[in-house]
Structure 1
Amino acid sequence: MAFVVATYRVEAARDSLEKIAEGIAIGLTVGSWTDLPATQQAEVASRCGSVEEIRVLEETSQGTLAEIKIGYPEENLTDSLASLLVTVFGKLSMDGNVRLQALEIPDSYRRRFPGPQFGAAGIRQLIGVERRPLIMSIFKSCNGQSLSELAHAFREQALGCVDYVKDDEIFFDESLAPSIERVRRYGEIAREVAEMTGQRTRYAVNLTGTLPELFEKAERLVEAGADALLLNVFAYGLDVLAALARNPNIKIPIFAHPAVSGAIYSSPRTGIAAPVLLGDLLRLAGADVVLYPSAYGSVTLDAETCRTLVERLRQPSDIHRSVLPGPAAGLHPGMVAQLYRDLQNECIMAAGGGIQGHPDGIAAGGRAFRQAIDAMEAGEQLEDAALRHRELARALQRWGVKA
């Protein structure tokens, strides 16, 4: 029998840990045990969770910090991520002093989910970039602007030779610039600019709306020529992402935005650890790119958490493709050396203000990122490359170099 094994971090009296573990194992699977007649115990025994391990980490002023591993029979679960979440953390999440730290998911259960359609390698093949890190520019002003104003901003970003431009995740009001019209207009601009620069910039459109119209809208955006979909996964739900990834009519990459996820992962004592939430679960559900707060910018995860998260996205698997990590939030060209050192070339660097805020304009901001990446690929210091490239030099003057 296959089991999903969940690791929880709890802080409690040492002599209560075994009782807590047994309570979790039973409460999240069969609900009760000692109150059941012997015949019913035999009937549900295969569905009962099991205590795999109790490991003491340290003694604290509040008691004992420990990790508890519980195994959940796969047969309790369905092909819905809701069933997984409710089983391993549903009512337990309301306890107030427990954190879901890790998930070990058997291959038999992973196969029940779509995983990324493209993943890192597929996106590279799709856009024709074999090695270097990718660059994504972010619209930092969307609401209240007309289609012509937005189209001008898209053109400037495309002139910066970025690989992707994505909507801001807060762009929901389409009264002035419907998403279908944005897709068509930006596609025209991308083709025009590509004739000048030799590089085609692609657009990740924010998928918004109510259910079930969301899925119909996604298909219409694909038909209109959308290059990628951006989804606020934790606002809409993991199973929405999985349904999009399973849809045979949606053959474009899906970029997962982490909005709302901070309410789930940010506490060290409660919630779900970021590598599980943004790593394991998003990969299972079918994200091709996962955006996350880098360890360097304005909204951050700590370096160790980022490292573990990226490992989960990239972990070799015969079942699901690896996901392209998308560090974001406060990035600028002066951070490229550090990003490159920590992530190598297999990532997409997402920048808003670090491109839009360049002293010489948006296009110069995109080119500065490209120049910084080209320097890293050539084994050159950013400061040396800046001697030959005005855009990079001006960016380093504006933001400095983060070593």
Structure 2
Amino acid sequence: MEQQNDVIARYALIDREKNLSARAEGIAVGLTVGSWTDLPRATQERVEPFRGRIEEIRTLDVIDENRVRAEIAIRYPMINLTDQIAALLTTVFGKLSMDGEIRLVDLTLPSAYQAKFQGAKFGVRGLRERLSVYDRPLVMSIFKTCVGQTLDELAFHFREQAQGGVDLIKDDEIFFHEAVPPQVRVKRYREEGLRLEQETGRRPRYAVNLTGPVFQLKERAKRLQEVGADLFLFNVFAYGLDVLRELTSDSDIQVPFMAHPALAGAFYASAHHGIAAHVLLGDLLRLAGADIAIFPSPFGSVRLAREESALLTERLRAPGPFAPLMPAPSAGIHPGMVPLLVAEYGEDVIVNAGGGIHGHPRGAAAGGKAIYQALDAVRSGVPLNVAAETHVELYEALAKWGEARV
């Protein structure tokens, strides 16, 4: 067998130690050829190249006198897989995901398998080139008032956020209502942005929520691109990873994709079930071709464990055939968190704030300015409380939210 062409999946599970070998063999066989010992010898020889094999069985710790926590690694021949992420996930974790306390904690994908995918069209470098911002973290604001608004009201909110100097403004992921159609919003916001660019020399880019029936998404994306869409926000786990892959691999769609993690918690949040966040939001988003990965930071209102966040970020940036993705740690971000975010993620990160911009006492424009003042302070080695002495927007942001500590 050509082991370098095997996909290796690692699982954390709880079981009796004496059951581990049989459990591992059941996974290896059950997710590939279905059965083995009951097959005639001639059939065994014919299906041998398709059979999964045990790579490793390792006991991690003892829970009680009857159970242990263990890790099992299984090799899956690449011959079993097509270039659909659905085939990969169904093979390595399909029915197994329903078999008690078991969690997919890692995937090793051979280069021959990764070569079937394109990865990000833009990634970190392409996104920076589009924005002409090369030497600092990017700043993104979120529409927090969208449903039930008129076009003029939405344009007002766009303008208010833009006046804070943010690089990106994205729709809220819940914005599916089309009383103000997305192509109308794209056109109007582009006009507002160009008007601001004439005044200040800077224009924020708008990430429109790409929604609609699945089989219409490509055409919708192309129409939005024609009227000037800068980026697409996409609810990848609601629509499906292969849907994102189909969109990003279309050569006629030349717009970066921002993957939103809505529903992802149903997959990664349990300690004993589901798929680890660095696999789900890291490895799989890279296969699907996302350019930006939104995920909970370790510091905000919805948190990802710091160790898992670090591993996820490592996966987003790992060398290989795909362009690195831009991480956007999110949920409850405000100006007082900027030092933590830069220390944790470096310069290649999006500071993504919703309430931390809109909730500023002086409004959204001041909220954006406070983020930049915090960034300038961090990059200059100045403590935030010192910088706040000469920057009223930062001062008032710290008075409201404080400075976050680990």
CA distance in 1 between counterparts of 2:16 and 2:230 reads 54
SS at match of 2:390: coil
8 A Cα contact 2:282 2:313, kept in partner? yes
SS at match of 1:212: helix
Show the counterpart of 2:81: 77
CA distance in 1 between counterparts of 2:351 and 2:95 reads 37
Q: CA deviation at 1:253?
A: 0.6
CA distance in 2 between counterparts of 1:388 and 1:195 reads 28
**Of 100, 104, 112, which residue of structure 1 is paired with 2:104?**
100
**Of 255, 260, 264, which residue of structure 2 is paired with 1:252?**
255
| Matching of residue 184 in structure 1 with residue 184 in structure 2 | no
* Consecutive aligned runs of 4 or more in structure 1 exceeding 4 Å deviation: none
8 A Cα contact 1:48 1:72, kept in partner? yes
Show the counterpart of 2:389: 387
**Of 242, 260, 265, which residue of structure 2 is paired with 1:262?**
265
> What are the equivalent positions in structure 2 for 1:55-134 lying under 5 Å apart?
55-61=58-64, 63-134=67-138
Q: CA deviation at 1:9?
A: 0.3
Return 260-269 or 57-66, whichever deviates more.
57-66
Structure 1 unaligned runs (5+)?
none
Letter in 2 for 1:304: E
CA distance in 2 between counterparts of 1:96 and 1:344 reads 39
Show the counterpart of 1:138: 142
SS at match of 2:262: coil
CA distance in 1 between counterparts of 2:289 and 2:151 reads 31
**Of 328, 331, 338, which residue of structure 2 is paired with 1:329?**
331
8 A Cα contact 2:214 2:239, kept in partner? no
Q: CA deviation at 1:151?
A: 0.6
8 A Cα contact 1:235 1:260, kept in partner? yes
Letter in 1 for 2:38: D
Show the counterpart of 1:168: 172
Return 79-88 or 384-393, whichever deviates more.
384-393
Letter in 1 for 2:170: K
Show the counterpart of 1:200: 203
Count of residue pairs the alignment pairs up: 401
8 A Cα contact 1:159 1:197, kept in partner? no
Q: So what's the TM-score if we normalise by structure 1?
A: 0.98
Show the counterpart of 2:52: 49
**Of 5, 22, 26, which residue of structure 1 is paired with 2:25?**
22
Structure 2 unaligned runs (5+)?
none
8 A Cα contact 1:288 1:323, kept in partner? yes
CA distance in 2 between counterparts of 1:124 and 1:290 reads 15
Q: CA deviation at 1:96?
A: 2.3
1:184-203 per-position Cα deviation (integer Å, ceiling 9, x unaligned): 00001111112222211000
> What are the equivalent positions in structure 2 for 1:326-365 lying under 5 Å apart?
326-365=328-367
8 A Cα contact 1:331 1:350, kept in partner? yes
Letter in 2 for 1:172: F
1:250-280 per-position Cα deviation (integer Å, ceiling 9, x unaligned): 1111000000010010000000000000000
Show the counterpart of 1:401: 403
Q: So what's the TM-score if we normalise by structure 2?
A: 0.98
8 A Cα contact 2:172 2:209, kept in partner? yes
CA distance in 2 between counterparts of 1:114 and 1:55 reads 34
CA distance in 1 between counterparts of 2:376 and 2:121 reads 29
CA distance in 2 between counterparts of 1:63 and 1:10 reads 10
8 A Cα contact 1:8 1:102, kept in partner? yes
CA distance in 2 between counterparts of 1:399 and 1:270 reads 35
Q: CA deviation at 1:381?
A: 1.3
Letter in 1 for 2:57: I
SS at match of 2:33: coil
% identical aligned pairs: 53
Letter in 2 for 1:20: R
1:58-103 per-position Cα deviation (integer Å, ceiling 9, x unaligned): 0003601110000000111001000000000000001121000000
Show the counterpart of 1:37: 40
Q: CA deviation at 1:382?
A: 1.1
CA distance in 2 between counterparts of 1:195 and 1:18 reads 68
For the aligned residue pairs, the C-alpha RMSD in angstroms reads 0.8
Letter in 2 for 1:135: V
1:196-228 per-position Cα deviation (integer Å, ceiling 9, x unaligned): 222110000000001211111011111110000
